Amino acid sequence: MVSAFPTQHAKTMILEIADIRIQPGQQAAFQKAIEHGLSTVASQAKGFRGAKVNHGIENPERYVLQIFWDTLEDHTVGFRESDLFTQWRAIVGPFFAAPPQVEHFNLTYTSA
């Protein structure tokens, strides 16, 4: 299993954050789907180093997905332009209330 927290190579990794809004009342099914999609599909992608999923407290239809990649291109080209992305969207896409907002980040500081 891939670690959800990068350690010694953290400064060279890219963090993808996807702000996801799902259809009301679909939390349990979506949580199973996203876990399945991450563990069976996204985890096969070149450069995938781990993921975290956070569920909104104040807004239960909101999720924040964090995926750690070796490079930006591993996500934007290697994954997004592959059959794996098609498989991923088939698993999680039916739950989306709107397209996820996705951004990428470089690590500038860590306390650990």
Strands (E), the chain: 14-21, 48-55, 62-69, 101-106
Domain assignment present for 43: yes
3-46: per-residue pLDDT in tens? 444 444 445 799 999 999 999 999 999 999 999 999 999 999 99
Question: Would residue 33 count as lying in a domain?
Answer: yes
Domain count of the chain? 1
CATH code for the domain in which residue 96 is found: 3.30.70.100
Q: What is the pLDDT of residue 110?
A: 86
**Amino acid letter, residue 94:** P
- Going by DSSP bridges, is the β-strand pair 101-106/14-21 parallel, antiparallel, or unpaired? antiparallel
User: In terms of residue numbers, what domain contains 21?
Assistant: 10-63+70-106
How far CA 18 is from CA of 22, 32, 53, 59, in Å, comes to 12, 17, 10, 16
pLDDT tens-digit map of 53-104: 999 999 999 999 999 999 999 999 999 999 999 999 999 999 999 999 999 9
Give me the percent of the chain exceeding a pLDDT of 70.
90
Whether 112 maps to a domain, the answer reads: no
- Mean per-residue pLDDT of the chain: 92
